[in-house]
Chain A
Amino acid sequence: MENSLPADYYRLLEDLQAVDFVLVELTLYLDTHPNDTASIDQFNHYAHERKKLKKAIESKYGPMQQYGNSYSGKPWDWNKGPWPWQV
């Protein structure tokens, strides 16, 4: 599985990792600064960005999450790699 993925996969993944870094940072920050409305606006903006990126990755490379948080192709494609430690 390793190194058989196109450069596009790594680019999209890094885009998502970058947006998610902003979201993790803002989540922890807002946990202790719940009245910072400018940061909440930024949070909501990036939450929307992540939805778009997740959709773009999943349409090409399969589900990122399961338990119904992602759609499945046929056959069931959650078991299909690569898993994070394999790329």
Chain B
Amino acid sequence: MWIYEKKLQYPVRVSTCNPRLAKFLIEQYGGADGELAAALRYLNQRYSIPDKVIGLLTDIGTEEFAHLEMIATMVVKLTKDATPQQMRDAGLDAHYANHDSALFYHNAAGVPWTASYIQAKGDPIADLYEDIAAEEKARATYQWLIDMSDDPDLNDGLRFLREREIIHSMRFREAVEILKEERDRKTVF
């Protein structure tokens, strides 16, 4: 069971209407290393991972949904006052033709989200190494987004999300060590 809470994990502010930045941010909404992929990857791996790591995958997977909501909020705030002409100038005309102002799970280039972005190998080390890589790729993406953005308010939220990727990566690395320790203990009687 999941319980929704009517608040963002961290405040989201933007300085000005800027649909071009929104177009880039969609990468973290429906892209290969985005928040949707992260949440679905971790929550799905829980069912075959050793018990010691289920709590961590549950909690990080759940936090990813809070990040997904933050990205959606950024996109809404960056585009809500945009005219169709501004959407066109920002390269969002193709999006507008299909979705009007609705959000959709695709990446910055408009490619729709697909389950082939995520893996589930059933091997705990393979799965956790994938998770570490996913966090590092998401961290890099946030860095490229911050580098392209000139909106200080938006960047405050993006920096928070970038830091969360670092923490998640660290926790997954610790989980790998916990499983290695358990494996080594089992071979010695």
Complex alpha-carbon distance, A70 and B173, angstroms: 37
Contact, CB under 8 Å: A63 / B76: no
A1-26 CB contacts (< 8 Å) to partner B: 13-14, 16-17, 20-21, 24-25
Can you list, as one digit per residue, whether each of A31-44 has a CB less than 8 Å from chain B (1) or not (0)? 11100000000000
Complex alpha-carbon distance, A70 and B127, angstroms: 37
Question: B11: which A residues are within 8 A, CB to CB?
Answer: 13-14, 17
A73: Cβ under 8 A from any B Cβ: no
Interface residues on B, range: 20 to 34
12 contacts between A and B (CB under 8 A): A28-B59, A29-B171, A31-B56, A32-B171, A32-B175, A32-B178, A64-B5, A65-B3, A65-B6, A66-B4, A85-B72, A85-B77
Can you list, as one digit per residue, whether each of B173-189 has a CB less than 8 Å from chain A (1) or not (0)? 01100100000000000
B9: Cβ under 8 A from any A Cβ: yes
Partner of B69, one of A17, A24, A32, A85: A85
A13-B11, A28-B63, A65-B4 given. 12 additional CB < 8 A pairs?
Answer: A17-B8, A20-B9, A24-B63, A28-B56, A31-B59, A32-B178, A64-B6, A64-B7, A67-B3, A84-B6, A85-B73, A85-B76
Contact, CB under 8 Å: A27 / B59: yes
> B residues bordering A, Cβ < 8 Å?
3-12, 55-56, 59-60, 63, 69, 72-73, 76-77, 167-168, 171, 174-175, 178
A46 CB to closest chain B CB (Å) equals 15
Question: A67: which B residues are within 8 A, CB to CB?
Answer: 3
A76: Cβ under 8 A from any B Cβ: no
> A residues bordering B, Cβ < 8 Å?
13-14, 16-17, 20-21, 24-25, 27-29, 31-33, 63-67, 69, 83-85
Complex alpha-carbon distance, A55 and B167, angstroms: 30
Partner of A84, one of B7, B167, B178: B7
Most chain A beta-carbon neighbours within 10 Å: one of B4, B76, B168 = B4
Question: A24: which B residues are within 8 A, CB to CB?
Answer: 9, 59, 63
Question: A29: which B residues are within 8 A, CB to CB?
Answer: 171
Complex alpha-carbon distance, A67 and B5, angstroms: 11
B38 CB to closest chain A CB (Å) equals 14
Contact, CB under 8 Å: B6 / A32: no
A11 CB to closest chain B CB (Å) equals 11
